[in-house]
Amino acid sequence: MATDVTEAKTTNLIGEPVKRVEDPRLFTGSAQYLDDLRLHGMAHVAILRSPYAHARIDRIDTARARGLPGVIEVFTGADFEDLNPLPCAWQAGGVENFVATPRALEIDRVTFTGAGVAAVVAETKTAAEDALELIDVDWVPLDPVVDLEAAIEDGTTQIHENAASNICMDWHTGDAEATEQALAEAEVVVEQRIVNQRLIPTPMETRGAAATYEPSSGEYTVWLSSQCPHIMRLLMTAFVFGIPETKMRCRALQMGGGFGTKIFLYPEYVLVAALAKKVGRPVTWIETRRENYTATTHGRDHISYLRIGAKRDGTITALDVKTLANLGGILSTVAPGIPTTLYGRMLSGAYRIPNIHCQVLGVYTNTGMVDAYRGAGRPEATYAVERAVDLLARELDRDPVEVRRKNFIPPDAFPYDPKILAGLSYDTGDYEKALDRALEIVDYEGFRKEQADARKEGRHLGIGFSTYVEMCGVAPSAWIGTVGQGWGASMWESANIRVHLTGKVVVTTGSQSHGQGHETTLSQIVASELGVPIEDVTVELGDTLGTPFGYGTYGSRSAAVGAVATYKSAQRIKEKARRIGAHMLEADIEDVEFEDGRAYVKGAPDTAKTIQEIAGAAALAYDLPEGEEAFLDDTTYYDPPNCTFPFGTHIAVVEVDAETGQVTLKRYVAVDDVGKVINPLIVDGQVHGGIAQGVAQAMWETAEYDDQGQLITSSLMDYAIPKASFFPAFEVERTETPTDVNPLGVKGAGETGTIASTPTIVNAVTDALSPLGIRHIDMPLTPERVWRAIADAKGGE
Amino acid sequence: MVPVAITVNGTRREAELEPRTLLVDFLRDHLDLTGTKIACETSQCGACTVHLDGKAVKSCTVLAVQADGASITTIEGLSSNGELHPVQEAFWEKHGLQCGFCTPGMIMTAAALLEREGAPSDDQIRHELEGNLCRCTGYQNIVSAIREAAAR
């Protein structure tokens, strides 16, 4: 039977700025986030947290709290002694890690302000919170260790019994001896201590958990705001509860951001699940913003000592970096992996550096937990390398653009092995192309003239560069799972595609959107590949029931790994549709093609079977080719052969008011190369948001503890989340160098902005102030810090 | 307990409330209008922005009893007769939202701004958003969306 298929033809949507399919429920207020979940008979949990950074708990008296009307029960750490401490799931590879991890509630000792020690379950949120005031704890304060450099000095209080000198791990990469020798032989060596300050990630939606327990089957259902529900289930069941993985279902609903903080297993998740069983009712806990600031992970917090060696002509010969990475008072889920694999291994940046060595000491202090925050290690690496190159250019009195160009890895050198990536190589790159385009946009020559004129008037204009490279799409399992990298699991991603009898398509995946728009991106791929209208594709994610096991979303891996899994399943669905289509057309399979949602005999495209017709036939299965299974259904577990390495050039133009220290960001230009782009609207949005977070680190944000380990910046009143008026409109463009790692050519775009932007700003401000002899100021470049640097440079005032 | 009568999205709602009940908790917990979000508790973020007698207010900073007799519009009541509000349309068109958590408050602030100002400049838009925080978008597409909505 001939079918007129002209209407079924669908255009290719890959690369198109498709409006997001998830948006209507979000802008009408009907999306269900965790705090919007209403379970019948739901009780509310509030958690008592340590007011001390370091203390022993002698006794906890909950009697008065139990007596408050509305309180169902009050629990302390002793009630959960049967549960294991949380696992540290990614340790620094190849070295011993001295691990200390949290428990559901701490029992006899706390190592940061905000650690949970007791929990109230009550009929209402207010009753639960009121009851916290009535719990009496006999605290014995201990000496807090707050300063990162002092923490490892002799004689400093040791926080954990197993971690001498408060060192969790001592990790290195590269060749120490060769680097030392190259530095000794270098014509010029520049040294600098740099601080990459602690940040509070601040997704607009805080964390939370809700749980039910079904005694007849012994099954838990746990709702979480999580970037990786399958990992949550795995870690809770196999590591903490010691129950079969099948006895728990984890679900993430609509998520209000994560930025890394929602990757991890937190004590409260374990606690809430356990409480559902103990009180025999559904329970819920929604984190307050203050808790989000003290008890959710922070990011960055490195102090590094850089030494860069070069020839007088600007050729870099060596880079040595020693870094103290603050891990906080106790380890979060992947804390030691971030400042090692994702940091030390990226210190070659976009440059050929023949000799590199990096040592990282992971250090305990009595501060909040530190783990991945957007970029996770790569922003810190980029800041170190891009500052080092700028300092070198300044020392040599050379143009920072020229020094970068001179040391770039050239396009014909790919794949490029920087020798510190434990066997991986940068996939593809054309670094000068992005640089040249960015210079053109900013009119570099014109700017230098303007700057010279401004200097004559006593005005301080500056320009800063960051020609970064980063690593996305983690990761080949054989690489990440090796001893050298330390993660004891794999890193593939899953997708399943089913084409139902009606021709409607359901995609499930282990990837987990927390604002990025996975539903749209994956729908674009599936609609384009299968040739169905995008409205006919539904993407389901975030629930361990009904999605294939997957590792979730972080490290810009959902396009380069998750979407590729989806793409591969689409190819296999197409192949099966071709076979069934050939049968329906009564043609030889070799003579039949599948294209634009239709199977047809080569040379006779007008006589075709549509994907919808084929799906119907496959589902009904009355008449299939011999040996063919019913239904169009395919699952892929895609394990990437390499990571991907996006790159680009960011340029900032600033003006500094030398009287007040105020920095004004006048222009911000970003030319990124993230490989092929699936949806430019979404990629631009990711870049904008990333730049805003990175610029905010460079200029305003910092998490501050006092010398007793109290978090001073513990609310949005004190922590400087930027506002709309803080920014100019960013000028964002792209070059496109596809990766050869995956068939989509995509590299990943979620973190470029945060990775590139901090050195861009600091390089711009130090450029502006170079006539005063200022070569470095630590972030954030607040008016006070800049003013002090200027005052110091002028000899004090 | 205190009696209140508040018109919410055109419907008169009566309740007996603890005096300390915040307007946002009344909307979310008593009326199940969960589109209005709580994200800071210190009146910084604006995720809880609603219209109180036509003006944008942070519903975490208004007691429900203070709204007694007033007319409230929440994100659920912004579109009318199945038609999206121009600001909602523009946020969709310009990709003015990512995770969506700040979006209801952002949109309510923007709608009130446009009601008042008509065609604000980009600078004015950025300053008017002083009370609304977004962590995803870098604000760029929010500003574009509001400019676009003004033009509609």
pLDDT at residue A7 greater than cutoff 60:
no
Q: Which residues of A touch B84 (CB under 8 A)?
A: 27-28
Read off φ and ψ for residue A733, nearest 5 degrees: -135, 175
Q: Which residue of A has its CA nearest to B21?
A: A126
pLDDT, mean over chain A:
96
**Tokens at A11, concatenated:** 């255009």
Partner residue opposite A716 with nearest CB, options B37, B40, B93: B40
**pLDDT given for residue A167 in this prediction:** 98
Q: Quick check: A29 and B104 CB within 8 A?
A: yes
Which residue in the block uniquely carries the two structure tokens 């990226």?
A346
**Tokens at B130, concatenated:** 């002083």
- Decide whether B2-75 matches B86-151 in CATH topology: no
Which residue in the block uniquely carries the two structure tokens 């899953």?
A494
CATH tag for B2-75 (out of 3.20.20.70, 3.90.420.10, 3.10.20.30, 2.40.50.140): 3.10.20.30
Q: Quick check: B107 and A27 CB within 8 A?
A: yes
pLDDT in tens, A267-319: 999 999 999 999 999 999 999 999 999 999 999 999 999 999 999 999 999 99
**pLDDT given for residue A482 in this prediction:** 66
Indicate the domain borders of chain B.
Answer: 2-75, 86-151
Q: Quick check: A725 and B98 CB within 8 A?
A: no
Taking phi over 0 as left and psi of -120 to 50 as alpha, with beta for the rest, A531 belongs to left
Helix segments in A114-266, DSSP class H:
125-132, 148-151, 176-185, 229-234
**pLDDT given for residue A432 in this prediction:** 98
Residue A117's H or E segment, with its range, is: strand A116-122
**Tokens at A784, concatenated:** 């006070």
Q: Which residue of B has its CA nearest to A200?
A: B135
Neighbours of A453 (CB within 10 A): 11
CA–CA separation, A484 and A482 (whole Å): 5
**pLDDT given for residue A11 in this prediction:** 73
**Mean local confidence (pLDDT), B124-135:** 98
Q: Which residues of B touch A126 (CB under 8 A)?
A: 18, 20
Read off φ and ψ for residue B68, nearest 5 degrees: -55, 125
**Mean local confidence (pLDDT), A441-464:** 98
Residue B144's H or E segment, with its range, is: helix B140-151
Q: Which residues of B touch A23 (CB under 8 A)?
A: 91-92, 97, 100
Q: How far is B5 from chain A (nearest CA, A)?
A: 23
**pLDDT given for residue B41 in this prediction:** 86
Query: Which distant-in-sequence residues (6+ apart) come within 8 Å of A406 by Cβ?
Result: A313, A314, A315
Sequence ranges of chain A with CATH classification 3.30.365.10: 6-10+492-638, 408-418+426-473+643-797
pLDDT in tens, A164-180: 999 999 999 999 999 99
pLDDT at residue A5 greater than cutoff 50:
no
A to B CB pairs, distance under 8 Å:
170
For an interface test with B, the pick among A204, A259, A513, A725 (most B C-beta atoms closer than 10 Å) comes out as A204
**Tokens at A597, concatenated:** 């949602």
Domain A6-10+492-638: top CATH class: alpha beta
CATH superfamily, domain at B86-151: [2Fe-2S]-binding domain (1.10.150.120)
On whether any CB of chain A is under 8 Å from the CB of B37, the answer is yes
**pLDDT given for residue A6 in this prediction:** 39
Partner residue opposite A257 with nearest CB, options B34, B44, B136: B136
Helix segments in A203-282, DSSP class H:
229-234, 267-279
Q: How far is A529 from chain B (nearest CA, A)?
A: 24
Helix segments in B13-121, DSSP class H:
23-25, 86-93, 103-117
Which residue in the block uniquely carries the two structure tokens 């690369």?
A15
Q: Which residue of B has its CA nearest to A29?
A: B35
pLDDT at residue A391 greater than cutoff 60:
yes
Please determine, looking at this structure, whether the domain spanning A408-418+426-473+643-797 carries the CATH number 3.30.465.10: no
Residues found in chain B? 152
Q: Quick check: A255 and B141 CB within 8 A?
A: no
Which residues between 538 and 577 in chain A have a beta carbon less than 8 angstroms from any beta carbon of chain B? none
**Mean local confidence (pLDDT), A33-44:** 97
Partner residue opposite A721 with nearest CB, options B36, B126, B135: B135
Helix segments in A283-410, DSSP class H:
289-295, 378-396, 400-407
Pairing of strands A71-76, A116-122: antiparallel
Read off φ and ψ for residue A444, nearest 5 degrees: -60, -50
**pLDDT given for residue A483 in this prediction:** 53
Partner residue opposite A36 with nearest CB, options B20, B34, B45: B34
**pLDDT given for residue A371 in this prediction:** 98
pLDDT at residue A61 greater than cutoff 90:
yes
pLDDT band at B82 (very low <50, low <70, confident <90, very high): confident
CA–CA separation, A677 and A338 (whole Å): 27
Q: Is A311 helix (H, G, I), strand (E, B) or coil?
A: coil
CA–CA separation, A646 and A559 (whole Å): 12
CA–CA separation, A349 and A358 (whole Å): 13
On whether any CB of chain A is under 8 Å from the CB of B143, the answer is yes
Q: How far is B32 from chain A (nearest CA, A)?
A: 8
Q: Which residues of B touch A716 (CB under 8 A)?
A: 40, 42, 44-45, 133
On whether any CB of chain A is under 8 Å from the CB of B99, the answer is yes
A300 has which bridge partners?
Answer: A198
pLDDT at residue A487 greater than cutoff 80:
no
**Mean local confidence (pLDDT), A713-742:** 97
CA–CA separation, A237 and A246 (whole Å): 8
Contact A200, B40 (CB under 8 A): no
Residue A284's H or E segment, with its range, is: strand A283-286
pLDDT at residue A480 greater than cutoff 90:
no
Q: Which residues of B touch A373 (CB under 8 A)?
A: none
Sign of CA dihedral B138, B140, B145, B151: positive
Rounded percentage of chain A residues whose pLDDT exceeds 70: 97
Q: Which residue of A has its CA nearest to B93?
A: A19
**Tokens at A295, concatenated:** 């008890």
Q: Quick check: A288 and B79 CB within 8 A?
A: no
**pLDDT given for residue A478 in this prediction:** 87
Contact A619, A714 (CB under 8 A): no
A435 has which bridge partners?
Answer: none
Query: Which distant-in-sequence residues (6+ apart) come within 8 Å of A756 by Cβ?
Result: A382, A466, A468, A470, A648, A650, A670, A672, A691, A694
CA–CA separation, A403 and A426 (whole Å): 21
For an interface test with B, the pick among A19, A27, A202, A684 (most B C-beta atoms closer than 10 Å) comes out as A27
Amino acid symbol at B76: E
Q: How far is A743 from chain B (nearest CA, A)?
A: 27
Beta strands in A9-70 (DSSP E): 43-49, 55-61
Q: How far is B36 from chain A (nearest CA, A)?
A: 7
Read off φ and ψ for residue A294, nearest 5 degrees: -95, -35
Contact A542, A253 (CB under 8 A): yes
pLDDT in tens, A200-239: 999 999 999 999 999 999 999 999 999 999 999 999 999 9
Which residues between 120 and 159 in chain A have a beta carbon less than 8 angstroms from any beta carbon of chain B? 126
Closest listed residue to residue B17, CA positions, set A618, A126, A222, A135: A126
CA–CA separation, A156 and A165 (whole Å): 7
Q: How far is B33 from chain A (nearest CA, A)?
A: 8
**pLDDT given for residue B149 in this prediction:** 98
pLDDT at residue A2 greater than cutoff 60:
no
pLDDT band at A481 (very low <50, low <70, confident <90, very high): confident
Partner residue opposite B139 with nearest CB, options A23, A206, A727: A727
CA–CA separation, A105 and A416 (whole Å): 47
Which residue in the block uniquely carries the two structure tokens 């949380």?
A86
Is the bond preceding residue A102 a cis peptide, omega within 30 degrees? Answer: no
Amino acid symbol at A46: A
Partner residue opposite A515 with nearest CB, options B20, B99, B122: B99
pLDDT at residue A462 greater than cutoff 70:
yes
**pLDDT given for residue B115 in this prediction:** 96
Sign of CA dihedral B59, B63, B64, B65: negative
Q: Which residues of A touch B102 (CB under 8 A)?
A: 204
pTM summary value = 0.97
**Mean local confidence (pLDDT), A659-681:** 98
Q: Which residues of A touch B41 (CB under 8 A)?
A: 288-290, 715
Q: Which residues of B touch A27 (CB under 8 A)?
A: 75, 84, 88, 91-92, 97, 100, 103-104, 107
Q: Quick check: A685 and B141 CB within 8 A?
A: yes
Query: Which distant-in-sequence residues (6+ apart) come within 8 Å of A577 by Cβ?
Result: A499, A530, A594, A599, A611, A614, A615, A618, A632
pLDDT at residue A485 greater than cutoff 90:
no
Residue A319's H or E segment, with its range, is: strand A316-328
Partner residue opposite A716 with nearest CB, options B18, B45, B79: B45
Helices A563-584 and A518-530 cross at an angle (nearest 10°) of 30
**pLDDT given for residue A203 in this prediction:** 98
Neighbours of A630 (CB within 10 A): 13
Neighbours of B48 (CB within 10 A): 28
Q: Quick check: A716 and B75 CB within 8 A?
A: no
Q: Quick check: A289 and B42 CB within 8 A?
A: yes
A46 has which bridge partners?
Answer: A120
**pLDDT given for residue A796 in this prediction:** 57
CA–CA separation, A296 and A683 (whole Å): 27
**pLDDT given for residue A490 in this prediction:** 81
| R_g over Cα of chain A | 28
**Tokens at A462, concatenated:** 């500056």
Q: Which residue of B has its CA nearest to A253?
A: B99
CA–CA separation, A327 and A298 (whole Å): 9
pLDDT in tens, A115-146: 999 999 999 999 999 999 999 999 999 999 99
Residue A598's H or E segment, with its range, is: strand A598-601
pLDDT in tens, B108-122: 999 999 999 999 999
| R_g over Cα of chain B | 15
**Mean local confidence (pLDDT), A94-108:** 96
**pLDDT given for residue A1 in this prediction:** 35
On whether any CB of chain A is under 8 Å from the CB of B93, the answer is yes
Contact A777, A762 (CB under 8 A): yes
pLDDT in tens, A775-797: 999 999 999 999 999 999 998 54
Q: Which residues of A touch B45 (CB under 8 A)?
A: 204, 716
**Tokens at A674, concatenated:** 């993230």
For an interface test with B, the pick among A16, A20, A26 (most B C-beta atoms closer than 10 Å) comes out as A26
Q: Is A128 helix (H, G, I), strand (E, B) or coil?
A: helix
A370 has which bridge partners?
Answer: A298
Is the bond preceding residue A415 a cis peptide, omega within 30 degrees? Answer: yes
Residue A616's H or E segment, with its range, is: helix A611-620
ipTM above 0.85, yes or no: yes
CA–CA separation, A235 and A233 (whole Å): 6
Q: Quick check: A723 and B74 CB within 8 A?
A: no
Which residue in the block uniquely carries the two structure tokens 């007040």?
A660
pLDDT at residue B27 greater than cutoff 50:
yes
On whether any CB of chain A is under 8 Å from the CB of B33, the answer is yes
Which residues between 383 and 402 in chain A have a beta carbon less than 8 angstroms from any beta carbon of chain B? none
Which residues between 703 and 722 in chain A have a beta carbon less than 8 angstroms from any beta carbon of chain B? 715-717, 721
Closest listed residue to residue A258, CA positions, set A489, A558, A631, A560: A558
Q: Which residues of A touch B107 (CB under 8 A)?
A: 27
Residue A436: Cβ-neighbour burial (10 angstroms; 0-12, 13-18, 19+): middle
pLDDT at residue A10 greater than cutoff 70:
no
Contact A621, A633 (CB under 8 A): no
